Structure 1
Amino acid sequence: MFCSRFFHLLALLPLVLAHKEPKTDQEIETQRALQRAAYYCAPAVADFTAARKRKWAQKVLNVNPGLPGYDDLFADANYIDAGESTELMECSPVSRKTAIQNNTCVLTPVVTEGPYYHTEGHPIRTNIAEYQFGLLTYLDIGVIDVNTCKPLPNVLVDIWQANATGHYAGHPFPKPELKDEKPQVGGKRSGLLSAFPRTEFDETWLRGAFPTDENGVVQFTTIFPGYYTGRATHVHVKIFKSWEPLPNGTFSSPEGSLAHVGQFFFEDELNLQIDKMWPYHTNPIKDTHGRTRNWRDSLNIFEDSHSPEGQYNPVFKMELLGPVITQGLAGFITMGINASASYDNWWKG
């Protein structure tokens, strides 16, 4: 059976660094096994994403054409229920042909987490915007296990992103000795600056985590992210199989609970339109280094997220919340992960 064969391949991989490139034959084969497994699940995943979009559109666009409230947009009734999805999620061939590009996101474990993750202090919440200015954006993220092609309920989806002018919470300034640093010229790190140190330890904006529901779906309220030198516009994500809520509203995760590290992206044309809006047009590098397009993303992260064969789409499918873009956006994506994987949870730079 397909699932058992790929589960065996995926289980062979030792614990590798979450951001390193596959080098050994075993690592390369395991990465490709994950991608092939997810590709096999593509019809089910595409249906999973489409059903969520269809329910949302029927509820919000047809019934309430104005700007919806959060409760209206993400009410439980808007999504496919477990009984409706069981047949689609079985790990067996779906006869109907469906393209993987229907926003099936397969982010392999070699995609970097970046230097701005905080191993402590990410709040458990769905509204991560806090007081950041920007374009209202709802993110609807579905998670499936590529070993079974079924949704994964109760896994913790942890996301973090830059604000409208390209900064991360806690990291406002470069090191004093690097304040005049120029971006790397040429090579894989082209366009990048050294990571800004963490100096504001109380800042938590645009960071948060929340568990998927019984249908393997989680929604976040945020703003559209800004850009910084060398990187395409993106949202970071980690998936934890187990975690423990802490009294301060954050969480801790036991060793071995991290199952996935990846990044989401947005269409270049949408990025360019939002660049014209306030406060995005105040980005301090707008008239110097400028934005990095997806196809020029440093470290090959955008390209790596498509897999070596280029079969996967890590780009959110965006929908308008109202008749004009300034009223906000909703983004949909489904990501396939290997729920049996386990990685250590720290940045190795």
Structure 2
Amino acid sequence: MVRSAILLGLVGFSAVWAHTEPKTEAEIETQRALQRAAYYCAPAVGEFTAARKRAWRQQVLSGLPLNQAAFAPPSIPSAGNPSLPTNDDLFASETYESAGQSSLSKHQELLACDVVEDETEMQNNTCVLTPIVTEGPYYHKMGHPIRQNIAEYEIGLLTYLDIGVIDVNTCKPLPNVLVDIWQANSTGYYAGHNADSSLVLAQPQVGGRRSGLLSAFPRNDFKDQWLRGAWKTDSHGIARFTTIFPGYYTGRATHIHSKVFTEWTENPNGTFDGRKLAHVGQFFFEDDLNLQIDKMWPYSENPIRDIRGRTRNWRDSLNIFEDSQGPEGQYDPIFKMHLLGGVINQGLVGFITMGINASYEMDNFWKG
């Protein structure tokens, strides 16, 4: 179709701006053209997200055991006793596939670049290209474990993440790519980077792009890997994680880091070595939600709560939150969050879809 032809016609230009922050007028216009063409697929992505949300509702809120709930006919009512599923049940691939496919007309593909007939809520402006932003100083190039439950024994608000990945070159979901995520714990520390006594009393940078930031805490523990992990997308282009809601630290808005590898090597110890890195990005949360979670224990014990407080999205240092929206502001990097139960402290589930250029390869190294 014409829209698909426009999109594919722009694929050849992707190497020109190399999927990094565009600088010249030509690079900026090329990215804008790719975003405009890719945006035509957004209604399909809306249905993509809606199908995922329906699957979660069936799995979490049904009174039946999880797999029975996914396949139960309408004549069998819910027992009315919502419970949280186990990880094995929650991530069962056949559960999502059944729930997602049942909601689509037979002539539709899940992510075809056709307009979806049923109106759905737009979750973000994907297939717009997800902007690349800094990975930050707390990534561990080696040793990230391959797992879906990354929480370990960290205390915090139960949070499930449902991350969709599509290729903006084809507007199709990307199966079998590795989504790697890492985040701070409830009081703002990363695994392996404990409080450094020489930096505790340091003052943040004043003025400039780094305004509000402290120097990064050095890595002083090479064993801890909590709140770090990677998982391969399924046949629908989905990677799902169990974690806790992240805490905040000086100068940065509340966020979760991500990388997407199209090639990697799994090690015997359950970790991986990345070979082909296609994307580096960050996800965020609505400030109103952050304000409520700030009041909950142990988030209320954050050591900078009464000194500097949490940095709002719009004040994020290095302009990372702003950069995450792209040069046209057409990408929404904020998770769409929903309650797992009747009240917030029963947990959350967040949805987001990334549109990446799967043909691109960047080096896996932080440049500061």
| TM-score, normalised with respect to structure 2 | 0.86
Query: Residue 75 of structure 1 aligns with which residue?
Result: 92
Candidates 168, 193, 197, aligned match of 1:171: 193
Q: Which amino acid aligns with 1:227?
A: Y
Q: Report the CA distance shift for 1:319/1:109 in structure 2 as closer, same or farther (over 3 A).
A: closer
Query: Residue 75 of structure 2 aligns with which residue?
Result: none
The SS at the match of 1:302 is: helix
The SS at the match of 1:12 is: helix
Structure 2 Cα separation of the partners of residues 154 and 315 of structure 1 = 24
Q: Between Structure 1 and Structure 2, whose CA radius of gyration is higher?
A: 2
Structure 1 Cα separation of the partners of residues 129 and 142 of structure 2 = 23
Q: Does 1:9 align with 2:30?
A: no
Candidates 226, 236, 241, aligned match of 2:262: 241
Query: Residue 233 of structure 2 aligns with which residue?
Result: 212
Q: Is the 8 A contact 1:145 1:337 kept in 2?
A: yes
Q: Does 1:66 align with 2:82?
A: yes
Q: What is the CA-CA distance between 1:27 and the residue it aligns to?
A: 3.3
Alignment of 1:297-312 (within 5 A): 297-312=316-331
Q: Is the 8 A contact 1:105 1:314 kept in 2?
A: no
Structure 1 Cα separation of the partners of residues 328 and 145 of structure 2 = 36
Higher mean Cα deviation, 223-232 or 104-113? 104-113
Structure 1 Cα separation of the partners of residues 328 and 55 of structure 2 = 32
Query: Residue 137 of structure 1 aligns with which residue?
Result: 159
Structure 1 Cα separation of the partners of residues 118 and 14 of structure 2 = 27
Q: What is the CA-CA distance between 1:84 and the residue it aligns to?
A: 5.1
Query: Residue 52 of structure 1 aligns with which residue?
Result: 52
Q: What is the CA-CA distance between 1:63 and the residue it aligns to?
A: 3.9
Query: Residue 194 of structure 1 aligns with which residue?
Result: 215
The SS at the match of 2:351 is: strand
Query: Residue 344 of structure 1 aligns with which residue?
Result: 363
- Structure 1 residue runs of 5 or longer lacking an equivalent are none
| TM-score, normalised with respect to structure 1 | 0.90
Q: Which has the higher contact order (CA 8 A, sep 6+)?
A: 1
Q: What is the CA-CA distance between 1:303 and the residue it aligns to?
A: 1.4
Q: What is the CA-CA distance between 1:190 and the residue it aligns to?
A: 1.5
Query: Residue 294 of structure 1 aligns with which residue?
Result: 313
Candidates 308, 312, 324, aligned match of 2:343: 324
What whole-Å deviation, never above 9, does each CA across 1:270-328 have from its counterpart, x for those lacking one? 11111111110000000001001111111111111122222221111111111121111
Structure 1 Cα separation of the partners of residues 340 and 120 of structure 2 = 27
Q: How many residues align?
A: 342
Q: Is the 8 A contact 1:321 1:329 kept in 2?
A: yes
Q: Does 1:283 align with 2:299?
A: no
Higher mean Cα deviation, 119-128 or 167-176? 167-176
Query: Residue 29 of structure 1 aligns with which residue?
Result: 29
Q: Which amino acid aligns with 2:92?
A: A
Q: What is the CA-CA distance between 1:109 and the residue it aligns to?
A: 4.3
Structure 1 Cα separation of the partners of residues 251 and 150 of structure 2 = 25
Query: Residue 115 of structure 1 aligns with which residue?
Result: 137
Structure 2 Cα separation of the partners of residues 159 and 117 of structure 1 = 9
Cα root mean square deviation, aligned: 2.4
Structure 1 Cα separation of the partners of residues 130 and 63 of structure 2 = 39
Q: What is the CA-CA distance between 1:175 and the residue it aligns to?
A: 6.9
Q: What is the CA-CA distance between 1:146 and the residue it aligns to?
A: 0.8
The SS at the match of 2:32 is: helix
Q: Report the CA distance shift for 1:292/1:106 in structure 2 as closer, same or farther (over 3 A).
A: farther
Structure 1 Cα separation of the partners of residues 330 and 209 of structure 2 = 22
Query: Residue 272 of structure 1 aligns with which residue?
Result: 291
What whole-Å deviation, never above 9, does each CA across 1:229-270 have from its counterpart, x for those lacking one? 11111000000001110011111122xx11111111111111
Structure 2 Cα separation of the partners of residues 273 and 179 of structure 1 = 26
Q: What is the CA-CA distance between 1:13 and the residue it aligns to?
A: 3.1
Q: Which amino acid aligns with 1:114?
A: G
Candidates 342, 354, 359, aligned match of 1:335: 354
Higher mean Cα deviation, 215-224 or 58-67? 58-67
